[in-house]
């Protein structure tokens, strides 16, 4: 059964990593259109030929006007918007003493403001009478639930995404918009972002990955497609009674 048959989805950061894994899963689940929204539109255009459902789109998630254009174009070309995945994000290694104000602001700008703007425009497109309801999925992190001594900016941003999600969910429920909003909290996942974090540590990418695996009760890091599987469930009608939830997928890290 194709759980997303006929649905139109927009995935930010859709050209690589978890975003691309989600886009691929949505296409396999029958989505009619999956918008690969990314600031690196050249990369989105490069991967788009993989699947006829893929449509590349230039999007800087920090720009309100970019969001308005991306959502309006999606609705005009595909007849509506059923699913938004706010996946685009960055991480900076730094303690409260070492992270710079510029780094702090950049992380909040992309991770928090980008998610806020995405939710705002998705609700506008999904709510009645013009919209048909839908699902918003915000990528937070286990770092939005538990702290890390050297992830001050990232912790703060992902904690904000966690509670913004609940606020959006409650608002849409009270307004009877038919719009659900949930957050996903991955643990360590094998992506370019995880490897990039090694540049801010004293370990090589291989050493850092191994140290992170050792901290996971299941003994490994997640594959991006495992995160995508959870996103597909939340986007589907099977999750029709799920809203305001924080879905942890971390191999047992936060159970300790």
Which of the residues are catalytic?
Answer: 154
CA distances from 135 to 125, 193, 239 (A): 11, 25, 9
CA distances from 77 to 33, 134, 137 (A): 10, 17, 22
Q: How far apart are CA 136 and CA 246, in angstroms?
A: 12
In the three-class reduction of DSSP (H, G, I as helix; E, B as strand; rest coil), residue 164 is classed as helix
Torsion angle, alpha carbons of 21, 22, 26, 29, to 10: 70
Q: How far apart are CA 72 and CA 112, in angstroms?
A: 22
Q: For residue 40, count other CB atoms closer than 10 A to its CB.
A: 13
Please check whether residue 34 is in contact with residue 54, taking contact to mean a CB–CB distance below 8 angstroms.
Answer: yes
């Amino acid at each position: 059964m194709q759980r997303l048959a006929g649905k139109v989805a927009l995935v930010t950061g859709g050209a690589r990593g978890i975003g691309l894994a989600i886009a691929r899963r949505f296409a396999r689940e029958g989505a009619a259109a999956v918008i690969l929204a990314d600031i690196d539109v050249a990369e989105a255009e490069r991967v788009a030929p993989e699947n006829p459902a893929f449509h590349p789109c230039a999007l800087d998630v920090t720009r309100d006007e970019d969001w308005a254009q991306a959502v309006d174009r999606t609705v005009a070309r595909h007849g509506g918007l059923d699913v938004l995945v706010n996946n685009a994000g960055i991480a900076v290694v730094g303690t409260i003493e070492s992270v710079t104000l510029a780094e702090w602001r950049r992380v909040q700008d992309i991770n928090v403001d980008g998610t806020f703007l995405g939710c705002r425009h998705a609700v506008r497109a999904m709510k009645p009478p013009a919209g048909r309801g839908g699902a918003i999925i915000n990528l937070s992190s286990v770092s939005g639930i538990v702290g890390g001594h050297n992830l001050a900016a990232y912790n703060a941003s992902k904690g904000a995404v966690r509670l913004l999600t609940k606020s959006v969910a409650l608002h849409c429920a009270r307004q009877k918009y038919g719009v659900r909003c949930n957050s996903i909290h991955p643990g360590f996942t094998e992506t370019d972002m995880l490897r990039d974090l090694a540049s801010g540590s004293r370990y090589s990418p291989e050493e850092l990955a191994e140290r992170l695996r050792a901290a996971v009760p299941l003994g490994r890091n997640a594959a991006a497609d495992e995160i995508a599987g959870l996103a597909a469930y939340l986007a589907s009608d099977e999750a029709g009674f799920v809203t305001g939830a924080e879905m942890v997928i971390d191999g047992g890290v936060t159970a300790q």
